[in-house]
Chains A and B, each alone.
Chain A
Amino acid sequence: MKKFAYLWKNALVLLAVLVFAIPASVDFLAMQKREPVAKNDYEVRMLSEYCEGLKDTPADTEIYVLDSGVPGGTFLIFGGTHPNETAGMLAAVSLVENMKPTAGRFFIIPWLNKSGFTHTSPLDGMQDFFDITLDDGSVRTFRVGNRLTNPVHQWPDRTYYEGTSGRKLVGTETAEIRNVNRMYYGDPDGVLTEKVCWGVYQLILKENVNLTMDMHEGSPEFLYLDCTMVNEKADNNTAMSIAQGMSLDMEFDDLTMRAEFSGMKSYGLSHRSLGDNTQSMMTLMETYNPSMGPLHGKMDDDLIINGNEPNYVEAYQRGLNYFKIDDSGYPLINRVARHITCIFYLAKNYTDAHPDRAMAFEGLGSYEEMVQKGLGGLLKPIK
């Protein structure tokens, strides 16, 4: 009997491991499941059509193409560059499900860093999922994700890396090798994240994209919020004029949306690297997300959806935050509607400047109408 005692001990250790491993596996696998998208008149392509190396990888992602049938320009819109910046992803999903293009073509990618949506940041107090109840009573669940590619899919982070971006990843920036918005214009033979960047770069070149919007959110501490970064270079340095037109249109709707020059040293960021290396006018928009900052309190659906974080209200009252934050919060629907309104006015002003490359759409309504509908009315039921 004593001879077999070690078997019991080993079995107990194995059992203890399984007690932790099984729920962890269930949790891990749940994050791999992609969210469904409601029907609309779109064609679905994959990013691997523009970067073969992405095929059959966890980073390959859907591109929804909505074509008006009316000749004009091409507008590429993506959310989910940073999966924890929820409004960009939901704005893209809302556009895919509601948009009725009336001129030109729209390429929309809701989950650009698909791998980043498969894990989260538990030590930042983030949660994996949040639910939105639709007007018909059905519930749609979305992942929050992490701003970086999942290390299970791309590992290890190098201690020194220099990709095509010109950005030297060293010291505290080594993990940024998994950040889509540091690795443009990518590399077809590089790490997984660079392949995603290469796919976007090739899409812009092959589809002759004229205008691109990369949707982001930031922690309330940042200066560049409710702001659109613009690479001036497109069309002989006329891009800022189009962005200022958008900014004024937003202001006429009582919405702030500053236009700012893209930083010359923003190596590897979409607006800098893709703007410098393609024909497209490159823009990147930011709203602030109260659930992202280090001061956020209890993380739950309420904070993610209603965007009211008392710690930030207090920080602002104490003069510690530049961006004005009050107790009305910054609900997700307002941020989604702001992204969509900015896109609408960018298309309008681009069309005014280049009528031969017109791009326009209907189907989502004004900012006020979207806010009134709420996310429950904006998102469509899955049938």
Chain B
Amino acid sequence: MKKIFALVLAALMLLALAACGRQDTTSPTGQADPNAATQATLDPSGTAPAFDMQTSEDKRIVNIGTVDKTLYAAPILVTSFGQSTDASTIDTALKRVGGTYSYLPQVAADAVGSYKTMIICVGASTKGLGQAGIDEKDEVARAEAIMAKAKETGAQVIFVHIGGETRRGALSDQLADLVLPQCSYMIVKEDANWDYKFTKYAEEHSLPLTLIFGQKDTVQVMSDLFSK
């Protein structure tokens, strides 16, 4: 009798678990960013692939090559390719150093003709594209048109990639590859360089490159670049 009773109780416990034991996996922030999810698989543990970082907590900024600051005349445009928050970080950094510039993350190609310097912040974000109401194809088309305009006007292009490793998805790389051939200076948060993509490119094309350890270092880099 006792055995039967115990069996019934155990069966009831199992049923209770099946009915109520669901772990909720919905984030209070809503849907996960599919772009970020795929990017997270690049290095889920933070240990691989191992690469030699030149920057560190103690040496936060590493300059490779010499930047000709005289190239970067006003008017200056800050825009985003991929609509991540990185352009907004540059906007905030420039505000802190008292820069004069236009911050237009979704600017159209026909509105960039007058700018002599374009700071292009590359980093694709599904959430950012959604917020802006732009789909991926349109963003790539906008980027291509802006780069064509920059070629036509001779505007100087500064390539900025400060989203780190999580902004190295397929779309981010596609957008980066549009900008790199026309840029004269690169600023990269170094954990994005895990496959040496940016250091190799700078070396092969003799481009000055600044590696930074964290996003806060953009304040110092912008100050160095635009201070008189």
Q: List A residues at the B interface (Cβ < 8 Å).
A: 81-82, 85, 123-124, 147, 172-173, 176, 181, 216, 218-219, 221-224, 227, 229, 232, 240-241, 243-245, 247-248, 251-252, 258-267, 269, 271-272, 284, 286, 294, 316-322, 324
Contact = CB atoms under 8 A, between A and B. Distances in A.
Contact of A319 (B25, B36, B47, B103): B47
Interface stretch (B83-91, B151-159, B197-205): B83-91
A223 B128 contact: no
Nearest to B89: A244
Contacts of A267: 30
A262 B45 contact: no
Contacts of B127: 260-264
B46 interface: yes
Contact of A266 (B21, B31, B95, B214): B31
B31 A286 contact: no
B8 to A, nearest CB: 16
A222 B125 CA distance: 17
Given A232-B131, A244-B89, A284 B44 contact: no
Contact of A218 (B21, B27, B85, B219): B27
Contact of B130 (A181, A261, A316): A261
A284 B131 CA distance: 16
27 contacts: A123-B20, A123-B21, A124-B21, A176-B26, A216-B28, A218-B28, A222-B27, A223-B32, A240-B88, A241-B92, A244-B85, A244-B91, A248-B216, A252-B216, A261-B125, A261-B128, A262-B30, A263-B29, A263-B31, A263-B127, A265-B30, A272-B30, A284-B29, A286-B28, A319-B45, A321-B44, A322-B44
B85 A223 contact: no
Nearest 9 Cβ contacts at the A-B interface: A266-B30, A319-B45, A264-B130, A251-B216, A261-B127, A261-B131, A294-B23, A244-B92, A263-B30
B61 to A, nearest CB: 14
B80 to A, nearest CB: 11
A224 B26 CA distance: 12
A236 to B, nearest CB: 13
A247 B89 contact: yes
A261 B128 CA distance: 6
Given A260-B29, A318-B45, 8 more contacts: A123-B20, A218-B28, A244-B85, A259-B88, A261-B127, A265-B31, A266-B31, A322-B40
Interface in B114-159: 125, 127-128, 130-131, 133
B17 interface: yes
A269 B28 contact: yes
A218 B83 CA distance: 25
A181 B85 contact: no
Contacts of A319: 44-45, 47-48
Contact of B16 (A123, A320, A322): A123
B216 A317 contact: no
B12 interface: no
B93 interface: yes
A81 B47 CA distance: 35
A251 B28 contact: no
Contacts of B85: 240, 243-244, 258-261
A353 B115 CA distance: 26
Nearest to A256: B214
A330 to B, nearest CB: 16
Contacts of B48: 319
B139 to A, nearest CB: 14
A324 B219 contact: no
A259 B125 CA distance: 12
A263 B127 CA distance: 5
A120 to B, nearest CB: 12
B58 interface: no
Contacts of B44: 319-322
A263 B130 contact: yes
Contacts of A218: 27-29
Contacts of B224: none
A216 B113 CA distance: 45
A271 B127 CA distance: 13
Nearest to A245: B92
Contacts of B214: 251
B37 interface: yes
Interface in B20-67: 20-33, 36-37, 40, 44-48
A229 B133 CA distance: 17
Contacts of A294: 23
B215 interface: yes
A244 B40 contact: no
A316 B125 CA distance: 25
A266 B29 contact: yes
A123 B22 CA distance: 9
Contact of B88 (A85, A244, A271): A244
Nearest to A295: B23
Contacts of B89: 244, 247-248
